[in-house]
Amino acid sequence: MRKPTILVAREVFPEVLVKLQQHFEVTSNQDDTIFTPEQLREKLQGKAGVFTTGSERIDAALLAACPELKICANMAVGFNNFDVDAMTAKRVLGTNTPDVLTDTTADFGFALLLAAARRMAESEHFLRAGKWNRWTFDMFAGAEVHGSTLGILGMGRIGQGIAKRGHHGFGMKVVYHNRSRLDAATEAACGASWVSKAELLATSDHLVLVLPYSKEAHHIIGAAELAQMKPTATLVNIARGGIVDDAALAAALRNGTIAAAGLDVYEGEPKVHPDLLALSNVVLSPHIASATIPTRLAMANLAADNLIGYLVRGEPLTPLNPQVLAG
Ligand code: GLV
């Protein structure tokens, strides 16, 4: 019997490609070309599955042009590149890669928090520029992390991982805001208390954003919200670009509305707002919160196993729209 055909839309670990080739006729992209929507549509002709990353948009127009497509397996926990409703309407399954990146991403959120609060990037640039010629009592004095108040907006798996690090590792008071409140046992394990969004903004010394992107979450942190934060506060975004109004954030960092920020994601990335690039009180990283080799390999394997699970056995591991499976 002919193997199903799939497209792997970006470069992947060679061993993951070999695994996929055992089950599928694979069109790969080890040159790592970023396909335009037209190229993606063309490459997907006749394909039953596609291995995507956040850079491939799967929407109604693409699905209408690719009637044989049955599954899009994203190598990411976030899936705002998928129009899940359009996929469900066309009975195309979507899958993502939850759990395998939780701790790695939470580690990185904490790294950005520490780097921004303790002014690590700014002071390193100063040193490398040969400007360090003496010790002074307040040189690069930053904000205290241990014992301070850690705020978390979005309290899913990664938010809980950050809360645990703050509570158990740094003796922080942890407050969070989320649409749904955690059960008491999970709150206790995280040492976290639910507060309103207004209280979260007003009381956090360090606020970490970990909520998924949605239309409702667009610019959930803008000028009005930044104005409610402490002038000494740190903001960290490891969620998605577009959750923060980057222009408003740059203005707030410039005007001292808040003290510092650590960002891994941006509106319109890989472009970064030029006003952010010009500021020294923001630590900028290129969307690498899950980037360790073991974690990226686990993500790639989970995406591949979703393709194999669904197209070979009819049983994906982490479906986003399981309604497609029923009937
Ligand atoms: C990365 O941003 C992911 O969603 O996995």
- Percent of the chain whose predicted confidence (pLDDT) is above 70: 100
Domain residue ranges in the chain: 5-100+293-325, 102-284
Using alpha carbons, select from 53, 58, 67 the residue that is nearest to residue 40.
58
pLDDT confidence of residue 289: 98
pLDDT beyond 80 at 327: no
What is the per-residue pLDDT across 129-163, written as a single tens digit (0 to 9) for each? 999 999 999 999 999 999 999 999 999 999 999 99
Confidence bin at 256 (pLDDT 50/70/90) = very high
What is the per-residue pLDDT across 88-99, written as a single tens digit (0 to 9) for each? 999 999 999 999
What number does CATH give the domain 102-284? 3.40.50.720
Q: Look up residue 242 and give its two tokens.
A: 């577009």
What is the per-residue pLDDT across 259-301, written as a single tens digit (0 to 9) for each? 999 999 999 999 999 999 999 999 999 999 999 999 999 999 9
pLDDT beyond 80 at 237: yes
Q: Is 104 in the pocket of ligand 1 (CB under 6 A)?
A: no
**Shortest-distance Cα residue to atom 3 of ligand 1:** 76
Residue 28 alpha carbon to ligand 1 centre in Å: 21
CA 230 to chain centre: 25
pLDDT beyond 90 at 1: no
For 76, the 3-state DSSP assignment is coil
The CA distance from 120 to 164, in Å, is: 23
What is the per-residue pLDDT across 101-138, written as a single tens digit (0 to 9) for each? 999 999 999 999 999 999 999 999 999 999 999 999 99
Q: Is 100 in the pocket of ligand 1 (CB under 6 A)?
A: no
The string of DSSP letters for 211-279 reads PPP-TTTTTSBSHHHHHTS-TT-EEEE-S-TTSB-HHHHHHHHHHTSSSEEEES--TTTTS--HHHHT-
Average pLDDT across the chain, whole number:
97
What is the per-residue pLDDT across 16-54, written as a single tens digit (0 to 9) for each? 999 999 999 999 999 999 999 999 999 999 999 999 999
Residue 77 alpha carbon to ligand 1 centre in Å: 5
Q: Which of 52, 74, 77 to mutate to test the pocket of ligand 1 (most atoms within 8 A of CB)?
A: 77
Q: Which of 101, 107, 266 to mutate to test the pocket of ligand 1 (most atoms within 8 A of CB)?
A: 101
Q: Which long-range contacts (CB under 8 A, 24 or more apart) does 251-256 make?
A: 251/223, 251/275, 252/223, 252/226, 252/227, 253/279, 253/281, 253/282, 254/279, 256/231
What is the per-residue pLDDT across 161-172, written as a single tens digit (0 to 9) for each? 999 999 999 999
pLDDT confidence of residue 326: 86
What is the per-residue pLDDT across 301-326, written as a single tens digit (0 to 9) for each? 999 999 999 999 999 999 999 999 98
The residue behind tokens 């699970």 is 309
Hey, which residues are catalytic here?
240, 269, 287
Residue 297 alpha carbon to ligand 1 centre in Å: 14
CA 310 to chain centre: 25
pLDDT confidence of residue 8: 98
Q: Is 303 in the pocket of ligand 1 (CB under 6 A)?
A: no
What number does CATH give the domain 5-100+293-325? 3.40.50.720
- Assess contact for 265 and 271: CB atoms under 8 A: no
**Shortest-distance Cα residue to atom 1 of ligand 1:** 76
The CA distance from 112 to 48, in Å, is: 40
